[in-house]
Chains A and B, each alone.
Chain A
Amino acid sequence: EVQLVESGGGLVQPGGSLRLSCAASGFTVNTYYMNWVRQAPGKGLEWVSMIHTGGITYYADSLKGRFTISRDNSKNTVYLQMSSLRAEDTAVYYCARGDLLDWGLGTLVTVSS
């Protein structure tokens, strides 16, 4: 059974950094492209980033280099390193597999002083 479990969310001050993790089970993360999608409170879905099976990475233009996606095959985990965080980055961050068939439950990131 495919399972994705996000962790690492929490309260962070503006300008701070946070690393989110997505632990996968039931498949290996380097055989699927893996995505991060976020949803601000009361707002729609926003695609954030993807890491391809070959390791190529893609990002939403709005992130302007502040976020970095990576994976650790030995831990079967995908990460999202977020820096220079802003209030508008406050959202639930979801990890999703492939063409977004399988999703985790999400982890809440709150950027506030």
Chain B
Amino acid sequence: DIQMTQSPSAMSASVGDRVTITCRASQGISNSLAWFQQKPGKVPKRLIYAASSLQSGVPSRFSGSGSGTEFTLTISSLQPEDSATYYCLQHSGYPRTFGQGTKVEIK
């Protein structure tokens, strides 16, 4: 199975800060990675697909990068509404696997 190691598990940042979340795959997955945002009590929402493609309707301050085993989700200027938990998901092999999640809080 492909393991996804996500870091950090939690973070606190100020409005306007640049935020970076990392996912590392236990083996190469090309660009078969997506990023999701989940707010409390809500359904997960896909932000990024194919590692770096922005989902339609998602603000441009979100971006994804990486290929192979290391991937990054960046929020260029953190906004209050970005307070949420973020997950990566590999869809290169079976079983699919999520990262452990990163809880982002606003200072």
A residues with a Cβ closer than 8 A to B are 35, 37, 44-47, 50, 58-61, 94, 99-101, 103-106
Q: How far is the CA of A103 from the CA of B97 in the complex (A)?
A: 17
Q: Measuring CB to CB, which residues of chain B are less than 8 angstroms from any residue of chain A?
A: 1, 34, 36, 38, 43-44, 46, 49, 55, 85, 87, 89, 91, 94-101
Partner of B34, one of A46, A60, A61, A99: A99
Beta-carbon nearest neighbor of B91 in chain A? A99
Indicate whether A47 sits within 8 Å of B44 (C-beta atoms), given known contacts A61-B1, A99-B34, A101-B55: no
Chain A residues whose CB sits within 8 angstroms of the CB of B36 once the complex forms: 45, 100
CB–CB B100/A100 < 8 A? no
Note all chain B residues with C-beta closer than 8 A to A104: 43
* Contact B43 A106, beta carbon cutoff 8 Å: yes
Q: Name B99's closest neighbour in chain A (CB-CB).
A: A44
Report how far A5 CA is from B44 CA in the complex, Å. 15
Q: A44 with B101: in contact, given A61-B95, A106-B43 (CB under 8 Å)?
A: yes
